[in-house]
Amino acid sequence: MENFIQNSLEDTDVKKIALKVIDNKRINEDEALILFERAGLSLLGFLAFEIKKRKTGQKVYFNRNFHIEPTNVCVNNCKFCSYKKPKGDAQAWELSMSEILKRVEYYKNSNATEVHIVGGVHPDRDIDYYCSLMQNVKKIIPGIVVKAFTAVEIEYMISKAGLSLYDGLKKLKDNGLECIPGGGAEIFDENLRKEICPEKTSSENWLKIHQTAHELGIPTNATMLYGHKETYAQRIDHLKRLRNLQDKTSGFSAFIPLKFRKENNSMSSLGEVSITEDLKNYAISRIYLDNFPHIKAYWVMSGQEVTSLALQYGADDIDGTVNDSTKIYTMAGVEGKPVMTVEQLVNLIKSTGLIPVERDTFYNELKVWNN
């Protein structure tokens, strides 16, 4: 392939960058911008897939999980959000503790290994409430891993409790928190952040929360909301900040690109980017984030078709069964119920010629389906 790149690429800059990637060397921000603006999709796919193979071979991961969304009442007013509803709205919910635990009971014998708990930043619920929630979840399913609370939720509950960030996160960990999802990152560029989510956790605080979690031994994920008002340079800036933190802590497990969905929010007029743009973003994320072990194509957001394509553009994880337990993307216009059986997940991965692997939250392999 190196000879093919040498002999077939006419763009000298793209050629140099491609050869650098093949040689397993880190690219910089200027080079990432050139890839976004000038590299062909087939080349990006090849380079990203080569990196994916170096990291995880032919394996693609999934898990058995379900979501709990305690509420969509939220103190923030993000312009891209289709999920938040005011108290009293017909589409608003505020599940009581007993209602939440009844939902957890449903999964008691499901073989689920992870519960994913996120929701709106509720004005009246504090850190003790969520500590009690995690304790009760663990009583019902003792072995389940609790992956819970975005940095936005964490900042609010810790601030409300008057605790330091370290002490607040330690309290959450001591009461059952084992992993933190990557939500709330949106886009780190401060000016754009002020425009689309001015009340939300600052970029600096989002990164500080994740760094502190890593220091406490809590692994986390990272996300980026793309396909709205951001430029390529702003995407790269976002990736750079994540890569820099990962260099310090090695605490991120996976990066998850999240596509802006247009329905039922105040940014609907922007429309949505194409599948080509989705795949380009997956590929360059995989190429640039050389210190991230995994890139996740979250099938609930992407849909099954784009998810299967993303596996050829650097992604090596597709999330899990979910079991129709999240409304975040269906409320933003994604069609179909978010549920896939293990058999369906396995078949989706096999259809791409890759090897399905059931994992736990920490990427320990539980079962491998060799083709």
Whole-angstrom distance, CA of residue 16 vs CA of residue 10:
11
Whole-angstrom distance, CA of residue 317 vs CA of residue 264:
29
Residues with Cβ within 8 Å of residue 194, at least 6 apart in sequence: none
- Name which of 120, 104, 106 is nearest 156 in CA terms: 120
Domain ranges across the chain = 2-39, 59-368
* Number of neighbours of residue 32 by Cβ within 10 angstroms: 23
Whole-angstrom distance, CA of residue 49 vs CA of residue 69:
34
The model's confidence at residue 324, banded by pLDDT at 50, 70 and 90, is low
* C-alpha distances out from residue 264 to 229, 261, 312, 334, Å: 17, 9, 31, 11
pTM exceeding the 0.85 threshold for the entire prediction? yes
Residue 4: what pLDDT?
Answer: 66
- Name which of 144, 156, 145, 88 is nearest 119 in CA terms: 156
Residues with Cβ within 8 Å of residue 45, at least 6 apart in sequence: 279, 283, 312, 313, 314
Residue 59: what pLDDT?
Answer: 98
Q: Which has the higher per-residue pLDDT, 93 or 50?
A: 50
Whole-angstrom distance, CA of residue 91 vs CA of residue 21:
48
pLDDT > 70 fraction of the chain, expressed in percent and rounded: 94
Of 213-227, 245-259, 299-313, minimum mean pLDDT range: 299-313
Look at residue 348 and tell me whether its pLDDT is greater than 60. yes
Inter-residue contact 82 to 331 (CB < 8 Å): yes
The model's confidence at residue 8, banded by pLDDT at 50, 70 and 90, is low
Residue 10: what pLDDT?
Answer: 80
Look at residue 329 and tell me whether its pLDDT is greater than 50. no
- Name which of 342, 242, 326 is nearest 292 in CA terms: 242
Q: Which fold has domain 59-368?
A: TIM Barrel (3.20.20)
Instruction: Indicate the DSSP class of residue 122.
Output: -
The model's confidence at residue 81, banded by pLDDT at 50, 70 and 90, is confident
pLDDT in tens, 299-323: 888 888 999 999 999 999 999 998 7
Mean pLDDT of 128-155: 97
Residue 333: what pLDDT?
Answer: 45
Whole-angstrom distance, CA of residue 153 vs CA of residue 200:
10
Look at residue 189 and tell me whether its pLDDT is greater than 70. yes
Q: Which has the higher per-residue pLDDT, 306 or 333?
A: 306
Q: Tally the residues of the chain.
A: 371
Calculate the average pLDDT of the chain.
92
